[in-house]
C-alpha cells in the first residue's frame, strides 16, 4: 500500500506543487525501500507468491522514479532489481490468478526495459538493462489475460528491439576499429526488411475508433524502430546524408499520425506509449515546425508527469546545440553526458 501511496503522491505533486504532499510521498517511498530490505533478508527460495509481491513493488518504485522525472538513473536500479525477480519466475505454474499476474508483470517489465532504450549506450553502461530471451517472443505473453495490453498490437515490432541492440553492440566494436563487416550489413538489411514488412494484425478487438488508434500507434512504433535501427547501424556517423534521408522519410510518416492520435476525443490512452517515439523521432527532427509539433503535443498531454517535462528539456538541449553530433539517439547520449542527465523514459 505504501508503494501505491508514493506513486499517487509523486503524480499529484506535479499538479498541486504541495511541499507537504511531496515530503509525505517520499516518506512512503523510503518506508517501502526499508520494507523491501527486510523482506529480501527473509525471502525463501521457491515462494512464487512472495516473489510476485517483490516484483510488483520494484516495478511500482521504478514508476515512482520515472514519473517524478528522476535524472540520476534511479529507474534503472529498480529495473535491474526487477529483472532478478522476473528471471526466477520464467516457468509458468500455479493458479490461473498467479499465472495471470506473473504474465502481466513480466510484460510490464519487458515494456519498461524496451521503451527505456533511447540512446546507443556508446559512452556509458549506466543505462544498460540486459534484454533477456523471453523479450524476443512477446506474443507468448498474450496467452493469459490481462496480458498483451502494454504493447497494443505491436508485439512483433518490440520483440525485434533486442536484435537491433545486438547489432548496435557489434557496430560499436567495428566503429572502434574503423570498419563495417559484410555480416553486420547483412544483419542490418535483414532487420530493416522485417520491420518494413511488418503489418498491423487483422481482426483487432474493439470498436472502429479504437482499432484506428491501435493502427496509428503501431505505425508510429514501426517507423520509430526503423529510425532506431538506422541510427544504431550508422553509430557516430550522424552526418551521413544517406542516414538523414532515410530518417527524414520516417519522421514525415510519424508526425501526422502523432498529431492525429493526440487530437482524439477523448484523448487516446495510447498517447501514454508515445514518449519513446517522441524521443527517437524528436532527436532526428531538424526543422522548427517538426520540433514544434513534438513540443506542443508533449506539453498538452493531460497525463501530467515530470517525466514529460524532462523529455522536452532533453530535446530542447539537443535542438539548441549547434554541434554536428547533436542528432539522433547518439546526440541524446551526448546531451545526457554534457548535462549530467541520466534519465529513463520508461
DSSP annotation string for 68-126:
TT--BSHHHHHHHHHHHHHHTT-S--S-HHHHHHHHHHHHHHHHHHHHT--S--SS-ST
Give residue 129's pLDDT.
85
User: What is the pLDDT averaged over residues 130-148?
Assistant: 72
What average pLDDT does this structure show over 62-80?
92
Joined together, the cell numbers standing for residue 67 give 514519473
Kindly give, in sequence order, each residue whose CB lies less than 8 Å from that of residue 135, ignoring residues fewer than 6 positions away: 110, 113, 114, 158, 159, 161, 162
pLDDT of residue 150: 78
Q: Which residue has the higher pLDDT, 298 or 47?
A: 298
pLDDT of residue 123: 61
pLDDT classification of 302: cutoffs 50, 70, 90: low
Say how far apart CA 79 and CA 119 lie, in whole Å. Answer: 17
> What contacts 241, CB < 8 A, 6 or more positions away?
none
Calculate the average pLDDT of the chain: 89
Q: Which residues have CB under 8 Å from 139's CB, separation 6+?
A: 155, 156, 159
Q: For the segment 195-238, what is each residue's pLDDT rounded down to a tens digit? A: 999 999 888 888 899 999 999 999 999 999 999 999 999 999 99
Least trusted range by pLDDT, from 147-156, 179-188, 326-335: 147-156
User: How confident is the model over 198-209, as pLDDT tens digits?
Assistant: 999 888 888 899
What pTM does this model have?
A: 0.92
SS3 149: coil
Domain boundaries, the chain: 43-338
Q: What percent of the chain has pLDDT over 70?
A: 94
Q: Does residue 61 carry a pLDDT above 70?
A: yes
Which pLDDT belongs to residue 122?
A: 61
- To which residue does cell 527532427 refer? 285
Amino acid at each position: 500500500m505504501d508503494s501505491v501511496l508514493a506513486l499517487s503522491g509523486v503524480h499529484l505533486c506535479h499538479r498541486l506543487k504541495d511541499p507537504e504532499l511531496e515530503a509525505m510521498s517520499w516518506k512512503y517511498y523510503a518506508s517501502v525501500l526499508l520494507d523491501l530490505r527486510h523482506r529480501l533478508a527473509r525471502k525463501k527460495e521457491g515462494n512464487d507468491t512472495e516473489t510476485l509481491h517483490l516484483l510488483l513493488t520494484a516495478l511500482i518504485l521504478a514508476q515512482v522514479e520515472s514519473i517524478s522525472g528522476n535524472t540520476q538513473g534511479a529507474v534503472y536500479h529498480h529495473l535491474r532489481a526487477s529483472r532478478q525477480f522476473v528471471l526466477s519466475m520464467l516457468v509458468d505454474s500455479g493458479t490461473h490468478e498467479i499465472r495471470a499476474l506473473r504474465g502481466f508483470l513480466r510484460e510490464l517489465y519487458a515494456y519498461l526495459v524496451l521503451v527505456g532504450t533511447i540512446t546507443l549506450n556508446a559512452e556509458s553502461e549506466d543505462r544498460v538493462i540486459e534484454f533477456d530471451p523471453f523479450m524476443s517472443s512477446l506474443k507468448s505473453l498474450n496467452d493469459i489475460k490481462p496480458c498483451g495490453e502494454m504493447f497494443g498490437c505491436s508485439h512483433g515490432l518490440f520483440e525485434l528491439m533486442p536484435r537491433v541492440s545486438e547489432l548496435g553492440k557489434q557496430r560499436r566494436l567495428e566503429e572502434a576499429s574503423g570498419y563495417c563487416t559484410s555480416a553486420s550489413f547483412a544483419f542490418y538489411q535483414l532487420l530493416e526488411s522485417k520491420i518494413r514488412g511488418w503489418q498491423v494484425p487483422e481482426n483487432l478487438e474493439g470498436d472502429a475508433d479504437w482499432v484506428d488508434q491501435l493502427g496509428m500507434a503501431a505505425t508510429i512504433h514501426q517507423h520509430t524502430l526503423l529510425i532506431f535501427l538506422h541510427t544504431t547501424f550508422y553509430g557516430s556517423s550522424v552526418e551521413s546524408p544517406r542516414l538523414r534521408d532515410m530518417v527524414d522519410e520516417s519522421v514525415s510518416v510519424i508526425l501526422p499520425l502523432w498529431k492525429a492520435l493526440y487530437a482524439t476525443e477523448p484523448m487516446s490512452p495510447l498517447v501514454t506509449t508515445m514518449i519513446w517515439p517522441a524521443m527517437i523521432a524528436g532527436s532526428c527532427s531538424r526543422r522548427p515546425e517538426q520540433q514544434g509539433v513534438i513540443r506542443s503535443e508533449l506539453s498538452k498531454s493531460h497525463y501530467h508527469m515530470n517525466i514529460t517535462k524532462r523529455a522536452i528539456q532533453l530535446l530542447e538541449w539537443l535542438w539548441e546545440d549547434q554541434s554536428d553530433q547533436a542528432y539522433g539517439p547518439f546526440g541524446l547520449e551526448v546531451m545526457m553526458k554534457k548535462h549530467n542527465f541520466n534519465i529513463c523514459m520508461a
